[in-house]
Amino acid sequence: MSNAKTDASPASQPTSTDWAGLGGTFIRFWQRFARRMWSDPVIIVGLLLVAGLVHGLQMTVTPSLLTTDDEGTYVAQAWAILYKGALAHYTYWMDHPPGGWIQMAGWAWLTHAFDRYDSAIAVGREFMLVATLASVALLYLLAKRLGMNKFFSIGAVALFALSPLAVYTHRLTFLDNIAIPWVLAAFLLAASPRNRLAAVIGSAVCFGVAVLTKETILVVLPALLWQLRQGTHPRTRRMSYFLWSVFAGCVGFIYILMAIVKNELLPGPGHVDLLYAIRWQLFDRASSGSFFDPTSAASVIVHSWVRLDPWLIGLAVALALPAMLRRQLRPVALAFVIQIAVMLRPGGYLPQPYVIALIPFAALIVAGAVGALWNSGLLNRFHLLRNQIPRTGFSYAQVLVQAPALAIVAVFGLVIAVPQWSPRLHDLMTDDRNVSVRQTMEWVETHIPTKKGDASPVHILVSDAMWVDLKRLGYAPDWYFKVDLDPAVKANYPQGWQDVDYVIFTNEMNEIAKSDSKADMTTTLASRKHGTLVAKFGSLSETIWIYQVHKPLRTSSGTG
Amino acid sequence: MMRKLMSSRQTSFAVVGLAVMVVGFPVLYLLVEVAGLNPSSAKLVELGVSIQLNYIGNRTFTWRDRESGSWLGGLVRANLSRAGSAILSWAVFVALNNHFGVGYLFASAISVISAMGINYAASHYWVFRDPKTARRFSVPDLAMLTRLARIGGGIAATIMIWRLLGTTGLIYAGVLVFVAVMFFVAISSLWLSLYAWHSPEHMESVGFDTPQEPQNSFSIVIPVRDEAINVLRPTVQALVNQSHPDFEIILVVSGEDDEDTRLAAESLRDDNPGSIQVVYVTGRKNKPLALIAATPLCTKDVFSIFDAESIAAPDLLIHVDTKFVTSGADVVQAGVQLMNHDDSWYSLLNCLEYYRWFKSRLHWHANEGFITLGGNTVFIKREALQAVGGYDGNMLAEDAEIGGRLSVAGYKVAVAYDPKLSTREETPESVPSLVRQRRRWMQGFFQAYSKGDWRQLPTLRQRMLARYTLLMPAFQAASGLLIPVSFGAVFLVKVPTLLALATFLPIIPSLATMAADLVAMREFGRDFDLKITLKHRLQLVLGTMVYQSLLSAAAVSAAYRHLRGINVWDKTAHSGSHHKSEDTLTTSEESV
């Protein structure tokens, strides 16, 4: 309420007494209404509605469920928590901390999500909507705490929620999307305007959870510590830092403690170990090459972002350093710059969802920098410019600064956002890129029995995108990677491809098989070689091929 | 007038609830029929929406007369309380229907009505509480109700968990609850001890104000027993030299057989003619009896106590006088600081404990309206002391106990801390005497708990706080047992991963306390111009666990003695004075 009063628009005030009668009553009512509407809770509700609509329409079918195997993997892991009581559908080898899919499982458990959808990935997509909505509210509050007024705070959220790149990646079931609200909450609490120790501890816990959700978010740590410096008073700063470290460290340490308790910290026979997982993530993963090499994987990924929307990240790169002129924007700008620097490092692994953690900071930088320009008293030191322009409410200084800012916003809005973003958003909100998967599932259900003649299960090698769905229909699907990689799974296929009944091939599997990646697909490829194509759906990246594997006559290998 | 307001508030609450329910039906209908959600998840969404609408409605209409704090904070409280009441009403339904055979419709009616009551009470006392007047609301009957609810809820929950999880599950659940309680106690006591660091405003508020014209006069009581003249003289000298113009000093000598102490006291009296009186106590000897003996001799406005081996700052009284005036308090507790941090490993930790206690935690207690006073450098208006009936001669921690009674009687307590004005003391001279001292205090807390004056505190919050404070040694005893249990659980017995992880939870507050102590130690060094080196930091990090174990051991022993009715004062009073470091040295031990 108090906010509403202070934010009353001065231009509309004098009229309230000038009018009498019905018209005056109406105007007064309207003014009161407008003032109420311009309060933070109402703005946040409005932002949630718009963001929810743009994110939510067609989110379970666009982008294609075949975009990446990761989506299916995370959803299968959440499914395994609820229905198998394990942290993963195969042996959990601590490739990522489990915080993200534990939260997803929590949502699915609360809302019976797996009962509501035929396609398991839709559950993950729905949870991404929840995460994005949380991020929207937090981002608005954070923007305000960083000194932006309501207009620019709304602008920051608009960039975050409407950029086609953001909408596209926010919809995909990635752990990064789940980590973002926690990171934003950590920044929001670190920026406590009243320097409260409680907020500092809250920030630490949120950051700990963020790291347990997606470990890569650790790279923004220096920026968060800087934010913490701005949100603490010299008299209590040391205490704040120490306690922040303890609480963030303890929450993060749960992951390592879990490994210790399960005896999976150090290498040993017969079990996975955390040290191996860390070594693999940091050093053994295939390099994505240099971003500057146009043929490298890194470059391909960056170009896929640019195709969706070059402007948000591009503008943020351009404005990151200018934004640092403003004290309050320095930490978030640093968070962005660190991530860009890590991305450009040669020889590392650049994952597809890397851009997700860039987006909120980019939005803050762009909105914050323009807002800072708009509100700056840049030219106020020149006496002449402080004079009012006759018959307007503005000073020369204001106009000289605010006109360019307005121009930037107008150009961005009219020339870029509307013509470039709207068709892409329209596609995202109307397309159905899931036809081939649906057709495949229907075909499998009608053409393949769940049990063979001798009541043994039907083994289908498949990508994780369809694993849970097949499992729930009663088949015995296996993620094609695991057949060669996981000794426990390999044991179910003593005769290799001869124990496979069907292979469902996706375009992604094709690409991996063709590429020189280190992935071992021996059994999968052998099964295809000995199979016949029985059905094919979709085209281009959404193509799916179903092969039935032909067994050789048993007599040849039998005891005779 | 009040009556009418209350009833209109309840009407408004009901109307808002009804209106939200009416809005809820179409929402539910749309979610199921148009959006295609299944009814149970649609109901969940509708419930979520209606909680927010109820909040907005009740904030705008029902409790519009309250300044209920921030909008967002209230929203969070509203959601928490509604979620809690939903779980409760579900539990009531299940308990009635499944376990007591009540028909489901009737059970549902009871659960709905109880949820409404809970929602209203939660809104009234918590969600829309007025931060300024919150303390005025109290419901005497609530104590009774909560006791009944607790017992009933406990039985129902136990049965339900047992039915759901079986015997092993029940044991695991028990362990989890125990761990959760320990975690809560540890983290909350850390949080309270950090009061001064909560915000820069708190850090400002713990100090004294600039002294003004003196307005009160002081009677200074010094209980003396087995003290050498070279210990007593600097204590008395520091008090005689106070810059305050109006005070008297009363030395209370316990023990007719203690010739040396008597001579020392008399020589000090003769050195400072007119300002010192000496009074003798015979028979049973302990500190509260000495204080009781001194009370009738006091003629000044304020009754104050100093220990025989503590050195007061010269400007202390004049600052305390001002604190009485500016705060309007009836009791002022000023800071005491142990200074020999370099003497031994435990004295460093002991010093830090005092530092945190007087600089930080006591201020929180004073603000919340339940405080256990210290036994040194404490100042009580004479009429307040007389009104509550003075000290209780049977108490082991008489200072903590009278603090509780002063709180019950509604007297205001102010705490002020300034390193330059804190009274300087030394730690107990050996580990056994430290443990004995702690045992006595802890047993004194149990004793004050059993005595039960705190039950008359006006608000539920204060009573909970009293319970929490006086039973803290029991938690300390339990936490001493937890660490071996958790290690055993992880490495010896095969328990579920989640349970093993949970038993480590209470280690988080321990680590945080250590980190906080490292910072406090640095500020302690700065405040008192002491050099804090790497050696001290190592001492702190390595010593904390051992020190905490000592306290746990003292707590276990105190609990045992309390339950067996062994009273230290009496026992040591008869054991004579042949071993100096024993509890017989009661007057030289400072009680917090």
In whole angstroms, what is the distance from residue B268 CA to residue B237 CA?
A: 9
pLDDT of residue B254: 81
- A545 pLDDT band, cuts 50/70/90, is very high
Measure B473 CA to nearest chain A CA, in Å: 25
Q: Residue B525: what are its φ and ψ, rounded to 5°?
A: -60, -40
Residue A12 has pLDDT above 80, yes or no: no
pLDDT of residue A407: 85
Of A165-179, A372-386, B88-102, the range with the highest mean pLDDT is: A165-179
In whole angstroms, what is the distance from residue A8 CA to residue A127 CA?
A: 37
From A40, A238, A261, residue closest to B501, measured CB to CB: A261
* Closest C-alpha among B21, B116, B125 to residue B63: B125
pLDDT of residue A48: 97
Q: Residue A350: what are its φ and ψ, rounded to 5°?
A: -105, 105
From B40, B200, B508, residue closest to A236, measured CB to CB: B200
In whole angstroms, what is the distance from residue A306 CA to residue A301 CA?
A: 9
Tens of pLDDT, residues A267-311: 888 888 888 888 888 777 777 777 778 888 888 889 999 999 999
pLDDT of residue A144: 96
From B40, B199, B497, residue closest to A262, measured CB to CB: B497
pLDDT of residue A153: 96
Write out the residues of chain B at the interface with chain A, using a CB-CB cutoff of 8 A.
Answer: 37-38, 40-41, 44, 71-72, 194, 197-200, 203, 490, 497, 500-501, 504, 507-508, 511-512, 515-516, 518-520, 522-523
Residue B69 φ/ψ region, left for φ over 0, alpha for ψ in the -120 to 50 degree band, beta for the rest: left
DSSP A314-355: HHHHHHHHHHTTSGGGHHHHHHHHHHHHHHHSTT----GGGG
From B41, B72, B197, residue closest to A236, measured CB to CB: B197
* Closest C-alpha among A131, A150, A132 to residue A141: A150
Torsion sign (Cα): A81, A84, A85, A89: negative
The Cα angle at residue B154 between residues B149 and B156, in degrees rounded to 5: 95
From B71, B194, B497, residue closest to A197, measured CB to CB: B194
- The mean pLDDT value for A133-150 works out to 96
Q: Show residues of chain B in contact with A233, CB under 8 Å.
A: 199-200, 203
| ipTM for the predicted complex | 0.84
Amino acid found at B112: V
Neighbouring CB atoms inside 10 A of B317's CB total: 28
List all residues of chain A from 217 to 236 with a beta carbon under 8 Å from chain B.
233, 235-236
Measure A244 CA to nearest chain B CA, in Å: 9
- The mean pLDDT value for A522-534 works out to 92
Of A161-170, A516-525, B255-264, B306-315, the range with the highest mean pLDDT is: A161-170
Q: Does A254 touch chain B (CB under 8 A)?
A: yes
Question: Is the Cβ–Cβ distance between B572 and B583 less than 8 Å?
Answer: yes
Going residue by residue through chain B, which has 592 residues, state the pLDDT in tens, using 9 for 90 and above.
334 444 577 788 888 888 888 887 788 788 888 877 777 777 778 888 888 888 888 888 888 777 767 788 888 888 888 888 888 877 877 777 777 766 677 777 777 777 888 888 888 888 887 766 554 444 444 555 676 777 778 878 777 777 787 777 777 777 788 888 888 888 998 999 999 999 999 999 999 999 999 999 999 999 988 777 888 899 999 999 999 999 999 999 887 667 788 888 888 888 888 888 888 887 777 888 889 989 998 999 999 999 988 999 999 999 999 999 999 999 999 999 998 888 888 999 999 999 999 999 999 999 988 999 988 999 999 999 999 998 988 888 888 889 989 999 989 999 999 999 999 988 888 899 999 999 999 999 998 988 888 888 888 888 999 999 999 888 877 776 666 666 676 666 667 777 778 877 878 888 999 999 999 999 999 999 999 999 999 999 999 888 988 998 899 888 888 888 776 554 333 233 333 333 333 333 333 3
Helix/strand/coil for B427: coil
- The mean pLDDT value for A529-542 works out to 92
Torsion sign (Cα): A456, A462, A468, A473: negative
Q: Residue A535: what are its φ and ψ, rounded to 5°?
A: -160, 155
In whole angstroms, what is the distance from residue B388 CA to residue B368 CA?
A: 20
Neighbouring CB atoms inside 10 A of B395's CB total: 21
The position carrying tokens 């971003």 is: A291
| Averaged pLDDT score across all residues of chain A | 88
Pairwise CB contact (< 8 Å): B41 & A236: no
pLDDT of residue A553: 62
Measure B38 CA to nearest chain A CA, in Å: 7
User: Element (H or E) spanning B325, and its range?
Assistant: helix B316-327
Q: Show residues of chain A in contact with B511, CB under 8 Å.
A: 246, 250
Q: Residue A358: what are its φ and ψ, rounded to 5°?
A: -80, -30
From A111, A250, A260, residue closest to B508, measured CB to CB: A250
Total beta-carbon pairs less than 8 A apart between chain A and chain B: 74
Amino acid found at A211: V
Q: What one-character DSSP code corresponds to residue B278?
A: E
pLDDT of residue B491: 67
Q: What one-character DSSP code corresponds to residue A377?
A: -
Supply the pTM of this predicted model: 0.81
* Closest C-alpha among A512, A478, A470 to residue A497: A478
How many helices (H) and strands (E) in chain B?
A: 21, 9
Measure B355 CA to nearest chain A CA, in Å: 15
In whole angstroms, what is the distance from residue A491 CA to residue B226 CA?
A: 82
List all residues of chain A from 167 to 196 with a beta carbon under 8 Å from chain B.
194-196
- The mean pLDDT value for A42-65 works out to 95
Q: Show residues of chain A in contact with B40, CB under 8 Å.
A: 112
Measure B324 CA to nearest chain A CA, in Å: 27
Measure A381 CA to nearest chain B CA, in Å: 34
Question: Exposed (0-12), middle (13-18) or buried (19+): which is A411, by Cβ within 10 Å?
Answer: exposed
- The mean pLDDT value for A24-45 works out to 86
